[in-house]
């Protein structure tokens, strides 16, 4: 089968950073599905894993996590899917990735593809949607069904125009929250407003001063999707007493939790690969949330965040997509579709 892999971790400008390769087609066993991949999307984690380092691989390492496609084989213990099902998912960090014509994935983290979306539109969604969903409804413990109560609540989403932010804004609005999203350019500000943000702030300026301009002293929830170190003290100032902060961006320097003590504020991490890496007892929640997301998409509540599509899926185009993501200026998601 066709695939795109690496042996050395090189700058993306180097043609050997990602290259085309032929690999044996795998077989599905246990609870695995074998999926014929139709489209993949590029996430910051793809870029981070591929980034230059001294390590080398003996066999081609296949990156990529988001995918949409068609089930062509099921393992003997599968019971949620059958051959021919159209699916979308974000795989496991500890298994071969989705830059391959056929891909094995545990059915417990796979959802039914939205009927109203193309494969490309669907591939843009899984990793960012799982991250946003878990951050809001698992880590911050927001009750999506309690919309009347949520109307009194506010959430600040730092980095609203990226992949996760673009979904988090929509999910937070669906849950009934007042959403303040940060953006630093006119294009990103327009994008978060289009997605439903009630207010837009610039994350390069004081949060508290901007909140006051919008008639607010602080917020009930903060979802940090950009530079936890840089925004740490600003988040501590902006959060309400007994409020909750969630971040998906690892810190480079130790975080001073004492700044949250007087407010009895909560800080929690979100990492969407936790369930698949550790095969947690609630691993199947990712299948459930993807299926629920499909329903919300099909009734028009949530829309895809696809902004750019490249075709076909091969090393040259994946390198182009990595370079765009590395620029830090992308809006929404970049997807590649169809193996040449």
Query: How do the residues of the chain divide into helix, strand and coil, expressed in percent and rounded to 5?
Result: 30, 30, 40
Predicted local confidence at residue 328, as pLDDT? 82
pLDDT over threshold 90, residue 329: no
Q: Where are the domains of the chain?
A: 2-125+282-337, 129-269
CATH fold of 129-269 reads Rossmann fold (3.40.50)
Q: Residues 239, 260, 159, 46: is their CA dihedral positive or negative? A: negative
Q: How far apart are CA 17 and CA 220, in angstroms?
A: 43
3-state secondary structure at position 320: helix
Predicted local confidence at residue 331, as pLDDT? 84
Domain 2-125+282-337 matching CATH 3.40.30.10: the answer reads no
pLDDT over threshold 90, residue 204: no
Q: How far apart are CA 257 and CA 237, in angstroms?
A: 13
What's the half-sphere exposure (Cβ side, CA atoms, 13 Å) at 154? 17
The percentage of the chain sitting over the pLDDT mark of 70, rounded to a whole number, equals 100
Q: How far apart are CA 225 and CA 36, in angstroms?
A: 32
Q: What is the largest CA-CA distance in the chain?
A: 60
Model confidence over 172-185: pLDDT tens digits? 999 999 999 999 89
- Contact status, residue 132 vs residue 168, Cβ threshold 8 Å: yes
Alpha helices in 41-162 (DSSP H): 44-50, 119-123, 126-133, 147-150
Model confidence over 103-135: pLDDT tens digits? 999 999 999 999 999 999 999 999 999 999 999
Predicted local confidence at residue 332, as pLDDT? 85
| Residue among 61, 68, 121 at smallest CA distance from 95 | 61
36, 104, 176, 215 from 131: Cα distances, Å: 24, 21, 19, 30
Model confidence over 143-175: pLDDT tens digits? 999 999 999 999 999 999 988 999 999 999 999
Dihedral in degrees, nearest 10, Cα atoms 114, 166, 104, 26: 100
- pTM reported for the whole predicted model: 0.95
């Amino acid at each position: 089968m066709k695939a795109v892999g690496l042996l050395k971790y090189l700058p993306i400008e180097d043609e050997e950073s990602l290259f085309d390769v032929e690999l044996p087609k795998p077989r599905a066993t246990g609870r695995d599905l074998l999926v014929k991949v139709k489209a993949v999307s590029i996430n910051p984690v793809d870029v981070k894993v591929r980034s230059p380092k001294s390590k080398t691989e003996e066999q081609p390492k296949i990156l990529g996590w988001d995918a949409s496609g068609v089930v062509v084989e099921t393992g003997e213990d599968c019971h949620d899917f059958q051959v021919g099902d159209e699916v979308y998912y974000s795989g496991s960090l500890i298994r071969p990735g989705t830059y391959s014509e056929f891909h094995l994935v545990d059915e417990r983290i796979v959802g039914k593809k939205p009927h109203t979306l193309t494969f490309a539109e669907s591939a843009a969604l899984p990793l960012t949607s799982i991250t946003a969903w878990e951050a809001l409804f698992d880590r911050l413990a927001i009750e999506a069904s309690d919309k009347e109560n949520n109307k009194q609540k506010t959430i600040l989403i730092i980095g609203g125009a990226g992949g996760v932010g673009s979904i988090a804004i929509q999910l937070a609005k669906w849950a009934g929250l007042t959403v303040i999203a940060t953006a630093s350019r006119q294009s990103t500000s327009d994008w978060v407003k289009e997605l439903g943000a009630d207010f837009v702030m610039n994350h390069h300026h004081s949060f508290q001063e901007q909140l006051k301009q919008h008639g607010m002293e602080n917020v009930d929830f903060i979802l940090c999707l950009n530079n936890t170190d840089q925004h740490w003290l600003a988040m501590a100032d902006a959060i309400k007493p007994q409020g909750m902060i969630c971040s998906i961006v690892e810190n480079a320097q130790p975080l001073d939790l004492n700044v949250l003590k007087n407010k009895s504020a909560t800080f929690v991490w979100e990492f969407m690969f936790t369930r698949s890496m550790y095969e947690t007892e609630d691993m199947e929640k990712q299948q459930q949330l993807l299926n629920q997301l499909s329903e919300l998409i099909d009734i028009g509540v949530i829309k895809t965040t696809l902004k750019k599509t490249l075709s076909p899926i091969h090393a040259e185009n994946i390198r182009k997509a990595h370079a765009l993501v590395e620029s830090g200026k992308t809006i929404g998601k970049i997807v590649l579709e169809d193996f040449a």
